[in-house]
Amino acid sequence: MNFDPHPEDGPAPPGPAQKLASDEQLLLRFHRTRDPALREELVRRYLPFARGLAMRYRSGSEPSDDLIQVASLGLVNAIDRYDPERGAPFKAFAAPTILGELKRHFRDRVWTVRVPRSLKERIADIDEAIAKLTGTLQRSPSVAEVAEKLELDEVEVLEAMEASDTRSPLSLDHPGPADSDEAPAGEWVGAEDEHFEIVEGRATVEQALPALGERERLVLHLRFVEDWTQSQIAERIGCSQMHVSRILRQTLQRIREQIADDELSGTGAS
């Protein structure tokens, strides 16, 4: 006959030659002894439960393995904090802890675009509601059905769904759809800076200013350095805007020809 020196602690820890104790017995024994081997066995038994909670948050943007790892951490925390003598079932105690870890994971790590915490939490609630309704209805729920379940306005649900779709920005190098000839976003997003011509002209002028006359240097300086309009320059030097435009055009043409000649001479010399 086997003799247990501590019968009040319940059966001995599970081993290869012993029959496994019930979940409740192991929880009680771990609460009293804090034995790491018992914690490991409890994690093994309740891991399917934690995995099921993690899958409620499954989406294309977050790997399932990462979600399961976060849920497992929540499970360990729940086991460490659980007091069976209070009488609450372990799963009822553990579920909020595990779900809390998952929500914090999405709030603090998954998002690369900063949004209010309340919106992040609403998105997590909507994801969970969609998963439950999909299982119940055997189809994707409508916005109205999700809103009714969570007691939200449809506008609030739509706002959260739109924010969820943009939680991670798309890379400019991301290719277009496989079945189209669409170029990567970096090739069509954005517009040409309206001051690009000024910057380009400024770089050109700086190379040729010493060879220009005083009036030409003043006009070019006011246009490309001070960013004055042609009307302002005309008022400053006492002539018409058309004359200022002619000075700019002729001077820039001379500068470009000079630079082209210098580059050609340099190429020939090399």
d(CA 31, CA 26): 8
Q: How confident is the model at residue 197 (pLDDT cuts 50, 70, 90)?
A: low
Estimate to the nearest angstrom the gap between the alpha carbon of 215 and the chain centroid: 54
pLDDT at 25 over 80: yes
Tokens 């001077």 belong to residue:
251
Residue 193: its pLDDT value, please? 57
Evaluate the CA torsion angle 239, 241, 245, 248 in order and state its sign. Answer: positive
Residue 8: its pLDDT value, please? 46
Instruction: Count how many domains the chain has.
Output: 3
**Three-state DSSP state, 94:** helix
Q: Is 185 inside a domain boundary?
A: no
pLDDT in tens, 64-110: 888 899 999 999 999 999 999 888 899 989 998 898 888 777 766 65
Residue 49: its pLDDT value, please? 93
Q: Is 173 inside a domain boundary?
A: no
Q: What is the DSSP letter of 167?
A: S
Kind plus residue range of the DSSP H or E element containing 118: helix 117-137
- Same domain (yes/no): 49, 151: no
Question: What is 65-81 written as a DSSP string?
Answer: HHHHHHHHHHHHHHHHH
pLDDT at 2 over 50: no
Mean pLDDT of the chain: 77
CATH number at residue 220: 1.10.10.10
Q: Is 91 inside a domain boundary?
A: yes
Q: What is the DSSP letter of 186?
A: G
- Same domain (yes/no): 90, 160: no
pLDDT at 114 over 90: no
- Same domain (yes/no): 106, 18: yes
- Same domain (yes/no): 105, 139: no
Q: pTM score > 0.85 for this model? A: no
Domain that holds residue 59: 1-110
Q: How confident is the model at residue 215 (pLDDT cuts 50, 70, 90)?
A: confident
The residue from 110, 131, 156 where one domain ends is: 110
pLDDT in tens, 134-167: 878 888 888 899 999 999 888 888 888 877 766 5
Name, in order, each residue with C-beta under 8 angstroms of 233's C-beta and a sequence gap of 6 or more. Answer: 219, 222, 223, 244
Q: How confident is the model at residue 5 (pLDDT cuts 50, 70, 90)?
A: very low
- Same domain (yes/no): 161, 259: no
- Same domain (yes/no): 106, 121: no
